[in-house]
A and B are shown apart, each in its own frame.
Chain A
Amino acid sequence: MPRSDRIPGIRPRPSLGRRLDIAARASFPAVSTAGLMMLTAAPFGFAGQAALLPATALAAVYFWSLFRPAAMAPVVVVVIGILLDLLGYLPLGVGVLTLLVVHGFAARWQRVLARQSFLVVWVAFLGFAAGAAALGWALTSLLQFRLLPVSAALFQFVVSAAIYPALAILFVRAQRSVAAPERA
């Protein structure tokens, strides 16, 4: 909620530009996440690139669920999850369910985690990444009626853990500048 809405008083209706600004700031986490996900699927051609997509989606949902829960509502998580399923060629629903579970736990522990240092948040993310990789692996295996290689899930966990700090730096910067609602 912008600060001006919380302070009582009569003031003119916000102009179109301001309303657009507010909307852009509120939708930044969702839009940037979708954009980043499409970027990770671009043909860079390095080995193991496929693991970047789930890792990026996971890091973004986790970060914004903790630090800007209003902009990462469950419905937004569902849309990101569907995008993950379609772009990542996962069985439909696997990404949605995984990200929703991550979002649920992150929202539950938000009050505690959001006040911690970066390192603690990262260590907590390791747990989330392990859980998400395991859940994704289990669901995909179940839906395909076969045991998929565990190494792929393990690799996804490692990539998630490694990419989080880099993404978090970007997200923190965005959170304080372009995505900050109080600056609108």
Chain B
Amino acid sequence: MIRLSIPARQALAKLTLPVLIVAAFALLLLGKADALLAERARMGLADVLAPIYAVLSEPLGRFRAMVADTDELLSIRADNVRLHDENERLRRWQSTALALDAENQRLRANLHWMPDPAPAFVTARVVADAGGVYARAVLLSLGPNHTVVKGQIALDERGLVGRVTEVGTRTARVLLLTDLNSRIPVILENSRSRAVLVGTNGARPRLIYWPEGSVPAEGERVVTSAEANAFPANLPVGTVHYNASHVPEVEPAARLDRLEVVRIFDYGLRGIVPPEAGARPAADRRR
């Protein structure tokens, strides 16, 4: 250690903070200039923490399930009545769906319809919230030899969740469709008109850019559009709902606030791929 006189040491100590504040500004610029650097550091840290969170999520999940169970015990009778009704209704729908499916098969056979290829998917556990204060995202834990790449599409059992935006060696980050930066081309199912779904960081993303004359109807189903080759067509997104200030929003079909397991689908779409994804060879990912 270098021996310094006491005044010199005091002067240095006074300088540390200003120098570090300047360095913080430099870090801000660096992070803006080289987004990949921050992303790699982030996913590196996530790779280290994900196994710990995965272990922690087991007892935490059990605790949460216990709380949910006690909640359910209180409303078990009302639930039972509701479920009986719903079951009745669903049984009628099932017969309708089966009839429609058979008709669809027949029509497709007559038309020599080319079926869409069945997409490959992997199922992954959500280990942590990865949004922070100003974003909506989740962190997935994957095996060390996973094949997930950026741009693949995440769905839960009910509908669209979002897209993979960052990939680490054993984790992936999925940007939810409610995030402020999320833009999803959608189709309003009844009118077949196109629109764009814009995240607001709130629970319900907003609909914009629908064509004049075909206003989204309350309760209308919204599905993805194959426009821009970023999503396959007809993935369920949610239903239209007008908020208090009469702005059409979409109630997501997926349960975004309680994601536990999601499926990551590879539709082979390379419509909108982040610029750095091409620079990163596939072999690099499989280390």
Q: B-contacting residues of A (Cβ < 8 Å)?
A: 38, 41-45, 47, 49-51, 53-54, 73-75, 77-78, 81-82, 85-94, 96-97, 100-101, 103-104, 107, 136, 139-140, 143-144, 146, 148-149, 152-153, 155-156
A50 x B31 contact (CB < 8 A): no
The closest CB in chain A to the CB of B32 belongs to A143
Interface size on B, residues (CB 8 A): 44
Could you pull out 22 A-B pairs where Cβ atoms are within 8 angstroms?
A38-B49, A42-B57, A43-B56, A44-B60, A45-B258, A50-B133, A74-B20, A82-B27, A85-B38, A86-B38, A86-B41, A87-B45, A88-B132, A89-B42, A89-B134, A90-B133, A90-B134, A93-B25, A100-B21, A143-B31, A144-B134, A149-B134
Q: Which of B38, B56, B130, B132 contacts A92 (CB 8 A)?
A: B38
B122 proximal to A (CB < 8 A) = no
Please state if A94 and B127 are interface contacts (CB–CB under 8 Å). Answer: no
Q: Are B130 and A43 in contact (CB under 8 A)?
A: no
Q: A42-B53, A42-B60 are in contact. Are A92 and B37 (CB under 8 A)?
A: yes
Name B1-28 residues within 8 Å CB distance of A: 16-17, 20-21, 23-28
CB distance from A145 to the nearest CB of B (A): 10
The smallest C-beta distance from A148 to any residue of chain B, in angstroms, reads 5
For A149, the chain B residues whose CB sits under 8 A away are: 134, 180, 200-202
Contact check: which of A53, A96, A100, A136 meets B17 at CB < 8 Å?
A100
Please classify the interface of chain B as helix (H, G, I), strand (E, B), loop, or mixed, using the class held by over half of its residues: helix
Cα of A85 to Cα of B30 in the assembled complex, Å: 13
Q: Which of A54, A92, A96, A107 is most buried by chain B, counting CB atoms within 10 A of its CB? A: A92
A43, A96, A139, A156, most chain B CB atoms within 10 A:
A43
B129 at the interface (CB under 8 A from A): yes
B251 to chain A, nearest CB (A): 17
Q: Quick check: is B116 within 8 A (CB to CB) of the other chain?
A: no
Chain B residues, Cβ within 8 Å of A140: 134
Query: What B residues does A38 contact at CB under 8 A?
Result: 49, 52
Task: Evaluate contact between B133 and A49: CB separation under 8 angstroms.
Answer: no
* Contact between B180 and A74, CB atoms less than 8 A apart: no
Considering only CB atoms, which chain A residue lies closest to B135 in the complex?
A: A89
The interface residues of chain A lying within 8 Å CB-to-CB of B64 are: 45
How many CB-defined contacts (below 8 Å) exist between A and B? Answer: 125
Q: Which residue of A lies closest to B42 (CB)?
A: A86
Which of B17, B41, B42, B60 is A43 in contact with, Cβ under 8 Å?
A: B60
Given A92-B38, A100-B24, A139-B28, A50-B16 contact (CB < 8 Å): no
Distance of A42 Cα from B17 Cα, bound (Å): 31
Interface residues of B (CB under 8 A from A): 16-17, 20-21, 23-32, 37-38, 41-42, 45, 49, 52-53, 56-57, 60-61, 64, 126-135, 137, 180, 200-202, 257-258
Give CA–CA (A96, B41) in the complex, Å.
15
Residues of A within 8 A of B49 (CB): 38, 41
Question: How far does the alpha carbon of A103 sit from the alpha carbon of B30 in the complex, in Å?
Answer: 23
| Contact (Cβ within 8 A) A89 B132 | yes
Interface centre among B20, B61, B257 (most CB of A within 10 A): B20
Known: A86-B42, A100-B20. A43 touches B37 (CB 8 A): no
**Is B127 touching A152 in the complex (CB atoms < 8 A)?**
no
- Could you say which of A45, A75, A89 contacts B131, with CB atoms under 8 Å apart? A89
Please tell me if the beta carbons of A103 and B28 are within 8 angstroms of each other in the complex. Answer: no
The reply to whether A78 and B20 contact each other, CB–CB distance below 8 Å, is yes
- Pick the contact of A49: B17, B129, B180, B258 (CB < 8 A): B129
Least CB distance from A19 to B in Å reads 16
Considering the complex, give the chain B residue whose CB is closest to the CB of A53: B132
Bound: A126/B57 CA distance, A: 33
Contacts of B56 in A (CB 8 A): 42-43
Given A42-B60, A45-B64, A140-B134, are A148 and B180 also a contact pair (CB < 8 Å)? yes
The listed residue with most A CB atoms (<10 A of its CB), out of B129, B130, B258, is: B129
Q: Which of B23, B24, B53, B129 has the most CB of A within 10 A?
A: B24
Q: Complex: how many Å from CA A107 to CA B16? A: 13
